[in-house]
Amino acid sequence: MDSNNLFYILLALAFFGAPLAAMLNNKPKISAAVAFGASAMASLVGLIIGADVLLNGPMRLDFPFSSPFGTFAFAVDGLSALFIIIISLVTFAVSIYSLGYVRHYYGKYPVGLMGSLFNIFYVSMIMVVSSSNAIMFLIMWETMSLSSYFLVIFESREKGTVGSGLFYLIMTHIGTAAITIGFILMYSESGSFEFSSFHGAALGMSDLLRSSVFALWLVGFGTKAGIIPFHTWLPMAHPAAPSNISSLMSAVMVKMAIYMLIRCYFGFLGVQDAWWGVVVLAVACISALLGVMYALIESDIKRMLAFSTVENIGIILMALGVAMIFQSYGLKELAALALIAALMHVLSHALFKSLLFMGAGSVLYAAHTRNMEKLGGLAKRMPYTSLMFFIGVLSIAAIPPLTGFVSEWLIFQSMLQSFNIPDAIVKILIPVALGTLAITGALAAAAFLKAYGITFLARPRSEGAERAEEVPGTMLVGMGILSALCILAGVLSFMILPVMDEVTSPLIGVSIGEHLISGFLIVPTVGEFSQMSPLLIGVLLASVFVGVLALTHLYGGRRKVVRAGTWDCGTPLTSRTEYSGRGFSNPINRMFSWVYHPLRVFRSTSHISPYVKSDMRYTSTIEPVFERYFYEPTEAGVRWLARKVSVIQTGSIQTYLGYIFVVLILLLIVLR
Amino acid sequence: MLNSLSLDAINTLAAIILLTDFMLVASSRMRSLTRIFAIQSLALGALAAVVAFETGAEHIYIVAVLSIVLKAVIIPRFIDYATTKIQVKREVEPLVKIPGSLLICAAITLLAYFVTEPLMQQGTAITSNCLAISFASVLIGMFLMVSRRKAITEIIGLLVVENGVFFAAISTTYSMPMIVELGVFFDVLVGVIIMGLFAFRINRTFDSIDTSILRGLKD
């Protein structure tokens, strides 16, 4: 069966699944099974389509009708296929996870509608990456934004959810406006909305026009991706959304923007100016660093993951920026390496971030809170969730041989090649970015150490955490698939990277597949610069572990286990004596106080003597810099303008007719 | 080309249309407004008939008859019925006083001639007057809508605009295809009925059909 037929099957599954689930809304169990069953099957079909295209070359599915904007068709090439595979992998795991996760919505919220929107959301993402026409793309993009908006406000009776959703809606539409203007500018040059006509159209454009298109797309897609300063919707919308949805949004939906940036910059515009790459790199560095810093001090586990998404998008864009810089200097092999690194990190982040969000969802499901300061002790109560969350944490902290390590190592390697660049200033800038990436990695490790340690270890800090139980099997299976993939994608990366090379070579114009992989080794550049093999590291680590275990068993003598209470100086140890999340991140909070602008308030009351406190309170908040200095002034400006403009809204019909009348007369005179 | 008798007839009827436009602006009573509108529609229908006779296109006869039946009989009757129902007799205090309105309308007419003059070089219309007068008719109709307060006068204004458009169509392209004309007639009829009902509603809700009271509806 060829991919065209499979594509029809995929669409059919989702288009039957969605309305059927909505119709069965009153029977939540059946409805959830139908909806997530359909999406799981559709995503399996998606996987086959992606694999088929990667193996057998691009496919194209034409519609039997045309529109005023050219022909609409689904066109899947290597890049699309890679993203289809990523979307489908995550959706498959999330679908299975959702079967269990939606149980706690039964009777409270319309599960059938969620399942229905879930299918629409999945299909819209598939269509976004397979659109062949700018207008068709925009329709799909909008479908994706709207369906995700409705999913974000699913728990509409929770406080703040609808507001967060609205903010997301506004931000995403500002982004879409910028994207649309970019496409219209391209259309003015190429004379068609077909993506195929955009290729090379940029050659005829003036520098100013080309750079405006570049900037518009950076803002437009950057808003969706969550680059700073357009990141504020992520920490609002991700926690508000149900966890299975935030998992999809954070792991996959924001990547649609990365997909389009690669397609637009390398495909349509053709990178010519080095400063474009420098701009992308700068934005990326700021996003990565600030993203992880905000993640570190956050104690809401889902908000923390959302900030971490901002950080990882920053890392991906760093690689993309470096690729653009290399490409502009004609260093195609290095550009290909950097772009492969970016795509590898897209895959890595999709795997571990969806895993972590599902883990956070499981915690929420079991302990009914997202606040780390109220959790703790879950490792004993939820051992499997804990293990799988830990794999995600290791992966995001770039511990070898997991997938996060491979992609970040490749990004480092590509940036280390910056000495090949002829321009001295750019040559200096990239090592600065390298330093940023290094500190980002360190802080990310700290942030996830905190997230895991405070949430899962020690003793429970609240009733909810005390009574937590392991989540249902389907949720564990969903997470298990992704944890296995996190390990496999790292260890077997020597099999994945050639595929990435196949995807990037048409965009860059050169293939580095021959020397990138030799046996189990990854060799980024020709010569004796560096090489690494995650498989061998994995084997080494495992054999050391097994060896040590065997040796201790053989020569360690008999083990004696004695259980006794910890010495507590006479004060009983409770959860209040535990290290808190805020305490953990406080040193960094102080170190970077020029970033956080923290506001600490310490209050205590004492009755008898100043040494005996009856009540002590400590609050520490950070200044929301972007909200205060960027969004609030902007909002005030818009409101001011609206008030000024509202003068013409008099409310009288005669005035409105008068406007039309006067404009008509003026037009008649001017255009006579 | 046309024979001189028809040409004279068309010119005269066009003049009547322009004259009735001015009379509409000048009159301050509801009943006379509807009468004058009926006369204008009658003239327009007659004009259509002359054009039909000249061009030999039979469907324009149907258009002419429909125009007369609908716009010279049914719609004025309906509006009269509506005004007696709501009991409006006078168009009190138009936003622009009547002498001022007449001066503005004169200016509008000049503008219409000024604007259509380059078009007349092509010489597609029956006479150079027709297109200019149709323009003037459209603009004066709009001016009526802008400057009057009562909902009923707004309706009359819109009908005058429609008459102007119809006149332009007849005089430049010898009327649109039959089906389009029928559609337009139907639109006008339904539009008037709906607007009449709205006038009832506005009257019931606000005890007046003074649309300037609707100002309170803005947020």
Lowest mean pLDDT across A110-124, A557-571, B13-27, B105-119: A557-571
Chain A positions contacting chain B at CB under 8 Å are 649-654, 657-658, 660-661, 664-665, 668-669, 672
The confidence score (pLDDT) of residue B1 equals 52
* Alpha-carbon span A190 to A5, nearest angstrom: 32
Q: Using pLDDT thresholds of 50, 70 and 90, give the confidence band for residue A281.
A: very high
Give which of B75, B76, B50, B77 is closest to B61, Cα–Cα.
Answer: B50
Give the minimum alpha-carbon distance from A641 to chain B in angstroms, rounded to a whole number. Answer: 17
Asked whether B40 and B17 are in contact (CB, 8 A), the reply is yes
State the pLDDT at residue A65: 65
Which chain A residues contact residue B142 at CB under 8 A? 657, 660-661, 664
Residue A663 lies in a domain: yes
- Residue ranges per domain, chain B? 4-214
Closest CA to A258 of A348, A325, A190: A348
Which residues fall within 8 angstroms of residue A256, CB to CB, at 6 or more apart?
A83, A125, A128, A129, A141, A144, A224
User: What is the sign, positive or negative, of the torsion defined by CA atoms of B71, B74, B75, B77?
Assistant: positive
- Provide the pLDDT for residue A259: 95
Cα A652 from chain centre:
49
Q: Which of A573, A582, A363, A581 is nearest to A467 (CA)?
A: A363
Does residue A509 carry a pLDDT above 90? no
User: Encoding tokens for residue A425?
Assistant: 């200033």
Whether A12 has a pLDDT exceeding 90, the answer reads no
> In chain A, what residues touch B147 (CB-CB under 8 Å)?
654
Instruction: Give pLDDT, residue B216.
Output: 63
Q: Output the pLDDT for position A277.
A: 92
- Indicate the residue of B111, B118, B212 with minimum beta-carbon distance to A654: B212
Average pLDDT score, chain B? 81
Reported confidence tier of residue B126, pLDDT bands at 50, 70, 90: low
Q: Pairing relation of β-strands A70-76 and A517-518?
A: unpaired
Closest alpha carbon within chain A to B120: A672
Examine the domain organization and report whether A603 and A615 are in the same domain: yes
Is pLDDT above 60 for B124?
no
Q: What is the pLDDT of residues B132-164, one digit of tens each?
A: 898 899 999 989 888 887 777 888 888 899 889
B212 has pLDDT over 70 = no
For residue A366, give the amino acid letter. A
Q: Number of residue pairs across A and B with CB atoms under 8 Å?
A: 47
Q: Residue A601 forms beta bridges with which residues?
A: A619
> Is the pLDDT reported for residue A172 higher than 90?
yes
Question: To probe the interface with A, which of B93, B111, B143, B146 has the most A CB atoms within 10 Å?
Answer: B146
Mean pLDDT, residues A13-34 taken together = 88
pLDDT at A64: 66
Task: Kindly state whether residue A62 falls inside one of the protein's structural domains.
Answer: no
Q: pLDDT (tens digit, 9 = 90+) per residue, A595-632?
A: 888 888 888 887 777 777 777 788 878 888 888 888 89
Planar angle of CA A475, A478, A483, nearest 5 degrees: 120
In B, which residues are within 8 Å of A661 by CB distance? Answer: 139, 142-143, 145-146
Pair of tokens at residue A283? 């934005």
- pLDDT score of A572: 80
Q: For residue A640, give its domain range.
A: 625-670
Q: What is the mean pLDDT of residues B58-80?
A: 86
Q: What is the pLDDT of residue A448?
A: 94
- Predicted pLDDT at B197: 74
pLDDT of residue B84: 81
With CA atoms as reference, report the closest residue to B200 among B103, B109, B81, B110.
B81
Nearest-by-Cβ selection for A657 from B115, B118, B146: B146
Judged against a pLDDT cut of 90, whether residue A311 lies above it is answered with yes
Task: Give the pLDDT of residue B85.
Answer: 77
In Å, how far are A273, A321, A421 from A276, measured between CA atoms?
6, 8, 15
Please report which helix (H) or strand (E) contains residue B4, including its range. Answer: helix B4-26
* A650 phi-psi bin (left φ>0, alpha ψ -120 to 50, beta other): alpha
| pLDDT, chain A, mean | 89
CA-nearest of B52, B208, B82, B101 to B156 is: B82
B139·A654 Cβ contact <8 A = no
Q: Identify all chain A residues contacting B150, using CB atoms and an 8 Å cutoff.
A: none
Inter-residue contact A300 to A372 (CB < 8 Å): yes
Gap between the Cα atoms of A159 and A180, Å rounded:
34
Query: First-to-last CA distance in chain A?
Result: 63
Q: Is the pLDDT of residue A565 over 90?
A: no
**Band of residue A310 on the pLDDT scale cut at 50, 70, 90:** very high
pLDDT digits (tens, 9 = 90+) for A362-383: 999 999 999 998 898 899 999 9
pLDDT number for residue A669 = 85
* pLDDT score at B93: 61
A637 has a pLDDT exceeding 60: yes
Calculate the dihedral angle through the C-alpha atoms of B210, B213, B218, B219, rounding to the nearest 10 degrees: -160
On the question of pLDDT at A44 being above 90, the answer is yes
Of the candidates A373, A394, A533, A543, the one whose C-alpha atom is nearest the C-alpha of residue A460 is: A373
**Alpha-carbon distance values, A606 to A609, A612, A613, A616, B95 (Å):** 6, 6, 4, 9, 75
**pLDDT on residue A568:** 82
The verdict on A619 and A647 lying in the same domain is no
- A652: which chain B residues are within 8 Å (Cβ-Cβ)? 211-212, 214-215
Q: What was the pLDDT predicted at A49?
A: 92
Burial class of B32 by CB neighbour count within 10 A (0 to 12, 13 to 18, 19+)? middle
| B214: contact with A, CB 8 A cutoff | yes
A129-143, A179-193, B116-130: least confidently modelled range: B116-130
CA atoms of A411 and A101, how far apart (whole Å): 35
- Residue A340 is assigned to a structural domain of this protein: no
In the prediction, which pLDDT does A658 show? 86
Contacts of B215 in chain A (CB under 8 A): 650-652
Rounded CA-CA distance A143/A123 in Å is 9
Check whether A82 has a pLDDT greater than 90.
yes
Contacts of B154 in chain A (CB under 8 A): 653
Q: Determine the average pLDDT of the residues in A122-138.
A: 92
Highest averaged pLDDT of the listed ranges A313-327, B1-15, B59-73: A313-327
Instruction: Provide the pLDDT for residue B123.
Output: 62
Alpha-carbon distance B6 to nearest alpha carbon in chain A (angstroms): 30
Q: How many residues does chain A have?
A: 672
How many structural domains comprise chain A? 2
Tokens of B158: 């819109």
Largest Cα separation within chain B, whole Å, is 60
Query: Is B213 in the A-facing interface, judged by CB distances under 8 Å?
Result: no
Cβ–Cβ < 8 Å for A476, A358: no
* Position A456 in a domain: no
The shortest CB-CB distance from A657 to any of B108, B118, B145 is to: B145
From residue A181, alpha-carbon distances to A64, A130, A188, A208 in Å are 28, 21, 11, 15
Query: What confidence score (pLDDT) does residue A144 get?
Result: 95
Nearest alpha carbon to residue A502 among A85, A53, A3: A53
Pick from B115, B147, B216: which is nearest to A672 by CB?
B115
Nearest-neighbour CA in chain A from B219: distance (Å): 8
Report if residue A666 sits inside a domain.
yes
Nearest to A649 among B115, B147, B218 (CB): B218
Is the pLDDT score of A506 beyond 90?
no
Which of A650, A658, A669 minimises the CB distance to B146? A658
Q: Pick the residue with more confidence: A4 or A241? A: A241
3-state secondary structure of A147: helix
Taking the Cβ of residue B215 and every Cβ of chain A, the question of whether any pair is shorter than 8 Å is answered with: yes
Q: Which pLDDT belongs to residue A454? A: 92
Reported as a single tens digit per residue, the pLDDT across B79-101 is: 888 888 777 666 556 778 888 88
Rounded mean pLDDT, B32-44: 91
Select from B108, B115, B137, B217 the residue whose CB has the most chain A CBs within 10 Å, as the one to mutate to test that interface: B115
* CA-CA-CA-CA torsion sign (B16, B22, B27, B30): positive
- What tokens does A517 get? 């992989």
Per-residue pLDDT at B127: 65
**Cα–Cα distance, A286 to B2 (Å, whole number):** 79
Please confirm whether the linkage preceding A400 is cis (ω < 30° from 0): no
pLDDT at A529: 78
Q: What is the ipTM of this complex?
A: 0.80
Task: Kindly state the percentage of chain A with pLDDT values over 90.
Answer: 51
In a domain, A612, yes or no: yes
Tokens describing residue A576: 């209040």
A654 and B146 within 8 Å at the Cβ level: the answer is: yes
* Nearest alpha-carbon partner for A335 in A80, A518, A510, A532: A510
Q: Is residue A163 part of a domain?
A: no
Q: Token pair of A574, please? A: 């409770």
- Rounded alpha-carbon distances, angstroms, from residue B7 to A226, B4, B51, B137: 72, 5, 10, 20
For B217, nearest residue in chain A (alpha carbons) = A651
CA gyration radius, chain B: 18
Task: Determine, yes or no, domain membership for A618.
Answer: yes
